[in-house]
Structure 1
Amino acid sequence: MNSDELLVSSGRWLDAGLKQFDDEWDPDFCVHHVAVAVEHLLKAYLVSLHPALIVDRGDWQSMLHATGHGNRSKVPASRTRSIGVTEAFDRVKELLPQHLTVTKTEFLAVAEARNGIAHVGAYEATEMRKILTTCFRVIRPLLESLGASEGDYWKFNSKLRDQLEDEHVTQVGLTVTAKIDRARTTAGRLIYRLNRQDRIAIIAALNARSPQDLPPFAQQVERCPACDGRGWLQGQVWVEEIGIPVQNRSAKFAPTRYQCAVCQLELEGDQLEPVGLHYLVDLELTDEELRQFYIAADVERPGGEDEDAYVEIDR
């Protein structure tokens, strides 16, 4: 029973839970894992005072392990029986009444959600955000009481935490933040462990080619919001034609998707707006590019007052 080990375990469960937060996310895993992180952190604080404080009442064999007499116990340490999450909360609440402001009623919703997911695979999904923010309100004072580093604990999840707590941040904003956090973790694992020279070479190689085989006018290169790479925008291209002579017609590009090969970040639709990639671009197409456009759009090149032609480049 080691407080530091429980602290590390709590951070791992938190990170695993918040990584579920994207447009393909699993809310059950997210809530369950974050709630487990809270339980481990509550117990980390109690163990920092004395390991016996997390032992299930009346379990003599577990008490022997907690008091340093594990060699006399008839069961291995791995079978130590500890208190449940609600009792752990009650004990910490009594010890830190001024720091831990979450009420017992508020915390009961966290425990019920975790138990509901673990035992019957269900909980009140509409309460997800409230449950997570309650967990964060428990975590903060415990980290302070343990003297733990917030940076080491939250890793890349601090911005997502802040946005979850901000009622004005939309679900789209939360999704984008979660995707960027995950992409940064990926880049850190795959790229940033390398020396500078190798890292620059690999990033340049990955940036060199678009993941989509598209005409040059149908994509734009933009710096990645998550890493040092430069990703590719794909989207819609159209030519304004109504009442405009052919030689004066202009083309426009509207992004609908962004991909970065370095950190594997992918954003689409309204997810582009929070990172400033939703702009409209005026294109100056050569006659050959205009011909390619009409081929891609699968329409005949108009010679009169026809409807605007467009092609969606999002394959």
Structure 2
Amino acid sequence: MKHEDLVQSSRHLMHEALGGLTVEPITHNLTILKAGVATEHLLKAYLCTIHPSLITDAKDLPTLLHAAGRPDLASKPLTMVKTIGIVEAYKRAHAILGKGRLTLDPQKFQEIADARNGVAHLAMSSAEGVERLLSLVIKVADALLTAMQEDAKRFWGLYAPVREKILEEGRKADLIIIAALKTKAGKTLVDRFGDRDNERRQEAIETASQYCGVRGTGAEKRTCPACSNQGWLGGDLTTAFDDEDQPKVILVTKAFKCSVCGFAVHGPMLQYFDNWIENLDYGPAATFEYGDGTTHLELYESLLAEEYAADWNEETRRRREEDRLLRVQLGVEDA
């Protein structure tokens, strides 16, 4: 029941919670769950700085013996001790620190517990509430770190910018996610290529940047906002018409991915980056060629012909069926 271990556990879980934020709503469940547990561990860490007995179940003697520093008398190991829950832990910390230092009312704090329990027991959470929940978690964590005189910079580490983004006035959930993705990408870059800038590292990065991980029929290089190397903005090639009603090829962008650091966004998230949601003009369809030498115009006309043939065949089948049903009604053909 060492408060240092609980602080370290809380830090690890908080980093996983913030680092796990992605554009996929399904990941918000894990963020809520881990942020909730991280908060609980930090609350118990604070109570342990006063005395470990403050986090114990008072009715469980073996737990009390461990808290009293007499594990030799306990009938079960430390891993099986019974401790209080997150709500009771907050009530005790709030009663000790007071409203001046732990500003959230216990009833307001209940939102954190309810959100965490909603995920843990029913896999239910509100994606819209992630931003608000994290802001509450951060306020509680900051107050507890101050009370314990813990190094806040060390606790938040690489995710300090994400913390700041969450607490910003007028914040948007999308921007919080982007900040988390950038932080995670920065860590991935160091894990993959190290942090020493030398010729060998640059060659490895250049090789990795050539790989396009974006699905679709077309892609173009764009500077990655996370690592400043070259990533890929891609989507599907399609046909549009200019003012003179002439067919041309355009690339409808759908996603960005950097093969160097792993930063990736798609869909509406592209709107937060300059010129990422656009239809890139590839010129006249008659002169645009694919790798096999086929022009886009030939492909487009071929598709039109196939669609026309399919429509014609469908119309023919419909008419033949109407004729057959009419003959059946007239009695000149069996049903």
TM-score range, shorter chain: 0.7 to 0.9
Whether the 8 Å contact between 2:119 and 2:125 is mirrored in structure 1 is yes
Q: Give the structure 1 partner of residue 55 of structure 2.
A: 54
- Counterpart of 1:83 in 2: which secondary structure? coil
Which deviates further from its counterpart, 161-170 or 35-44? 161-170
Q: Give the structure 2 partner of residue 147 of structure 1.
A: 149
Aligned partner (choices 105, 113, 128) of residue 103 of structure 1: 105
Q: Give the structure 1 partner of residue 180 of structure 2.
A: 178
1:241-256 pair list within 5 angstroms: 241-243=242-244, 255-256=253-254
How many angstroms apart in 2 are the aligned matches of 1:93 and 1:270?
41
Q: Give the structure 2 partner of residue 113 of structure 1.
A: 115
* Shift in Å, 1:102: 0.5
Whether the 8 Å contact between 2:287 and 2:295 is mirrored in structure 1 is no
- Counterpart of 1:17 in 2: which secondary structure? helix
How many angstroms apart in 2 are the aligned matches of 1:37 and 1:59?
24
Which deviates further from its counterpart, 97-106 or 281-290? 281-290
Which deviates further from its counterpart, 5-14 or 66-75? 66-75
How many angstroms apart in 1 are the aligned matches of 2:194 and 2:112?
37
* Shift in Å, 1:38: 0.3
1:2-21 pair list within 5 angstroms: 2-21=2-21
- Counterpart of 1:220 in 2: which secondary structure? strand
* Shift in Å, 1:37: 0.4
Whether the 8 Å contact between 2:231 and 2:258 is mirrored in structure 1 is yes
Between structure 1 and structure 2, the one with the greater Rg is: 2
Which deviates further from its counterpart, 136-145 or 47-56? 47-56
Which deviates further from its counterpart, 32-41 or 110-119? 110-119
- Partner letter of residue 139 of structure 1? A
User: Does residue 255 of structure 2 align to residue 268 of structure 1?
Assistant: no
Identity fraction in percent: 24
Whether the 8 Å contact between 2:252 and 2:280 is mirrored in structure 1 is no
How many angstroms apart in 2 are the aligned matches of 1:87 and 1:284?
63
1:277-288 pair list within 5 angstroms: 277-278=275-276, 280=278
Q: 1:213 to 1:140 in 2, by over 3 A?
A: closer
Q: 1:70 to 1:193 in 2, by over 3 A?
A: farther
- Partner letter of residue 5 of structure 1? D
* Shift in Å, 1:198: 3.8
Whether the 8 Å contact between 1:253 and 1:282 is mirrored in structure 2 is yes
1:296-311 pair list within 5 angstroms: 296=296, 298-300=299-301
Q: Deviations over 1:114-170 (max 9, x none)?
A: 223323443566544333221111011112222333333223433333343446333
1:30-179 pair list within 5 angstroms: 30-97=31-98, 98-123=100-125, 127-166=129-168, 168-179=170-181
Give the TM-score normalised by the residue count of structure 1.
Answer: 0.79
How many angstroms apart in 2 are the aligned matches of 1:37 and 1:90?
17
- Partner letter of residue 10 of structure 1? S
Gaps of 5+ in 2: 303-335
How many angstroms apart in 2 are the aligned matches of 1:49 and 1:219?
59
Q: Deviations over 1:213-263 (max 9, x none)?
A: 999xx533222111243101224666653328x8xx987656332111112
- Partner letter of residue 86 of structure 1? V
* Shift in Å, 1:280: 5.0
Gaps of 5+ in 1: 302-315
Give the TM-score normalised by the residue count of structure 2.
Answer: 0.75
How many angstroms apart in 2 are the aligned matches of 1:280 and 1:123?
34
